[in-house]
Every structure is written in structure tokens, then in C-alpha cells.
Amino acid sequence: MINHWMFRCKDVSQKVSRAMDAPLPFSERLAVEIHLMMCRYCARFRSQLRLLREMSSQVDVDPPRSEPTVGLSTECKKRIREALRNQK
């Protein structure tokens, strides 16, 4: 029989996710830890969340800065000239 203080996997996944941003109350934290000791799927989910958080913190969020191009390339100018000549 499941005790009233035990959480379902759906509840644990939500609490594990929430716990990454703010600490859970002691009773919830304890119930989650007990569940994680018994449920390898939820334990794996927590490990995956931790890995995703670690990997996303290492991603460079600023796009690379490129030098603005000044003017058109010679090839581009040539194509435009040809297109204008063919219009006449």
C-alpha cells in the first residue's frame, strides 16, 4: 500500500524540476528522495535534467559578431550590370 506522503512519478518529476530553481520544503524533499531511491526512472529523469542544466549553462548565448560587409562584391556588381543590360 502506498503511503499518503508518497508521490506519484508525475508529481516527482514536477517537484524535481521545481527544486532546480527553488528549494522544496523538507517534507517534500524527503518524500522525493525516498521515491528516487525506489524509482530508477525518476532518478534517471533527475540525472538528465541536471545534465541538461549543466550543458545549457555552457552554451554561448551571444551570437558571433561578424564584420559588416561594405559595398557589393565584384561578382554581385557584374550580375546586376548584366541584368540591367538585359532589361533594355
Average pLDDT over residues 4-30: 90
Domain presence at residue 70: no
Asked whether the predicted pLDDT for residue 12 surpasses 90, the reply is yes
Domain containing 5 equals 1-55
Asked whether the predicted pLDDT for residue 85 surpasses 70, the reply is yes
Domain presence at residue 14: yes
Residue 80: all three cell numbers together: 546586376
Q: Considering the chain, what is the average pLDDT of its residues?
A: 85
Domain presence at residue 40: yes
Comparing 47 with 85, the larger pLDDT belongs to 47
CB 35 within 8 A of CB 42: yes
Average pLDDT over residues 22-39: 94
Domain presence at residue 80: no
- Percent above pLDDT 70 for the chain: 83
CB 9 within 8 A of CB 39: yes
Domain presence at residue 5: yes
* pLDDT band per the 50, 70, 90 thresholds, residue 68: low
Q: Residue 10, class by beta-carbon neighbours within 10 Å (0-12 exposed, 13-18 middle, 19+ buried)?
A: exposed
Domain presence at residue 19: yes
pTM of the model: 0.60
Cα 10 to Cα 45: distance, rounded to the nearest angstrom = 11
E-assigned strand segments in 1-88: none
Give the dihedral of Cα atoms 80, 85, 87, 88; nearest 10 deg. 150
Give the count of domains, the chain.
Answer: 1
Domain presence at residue 26: yes
Domain presence at residue 28: yes
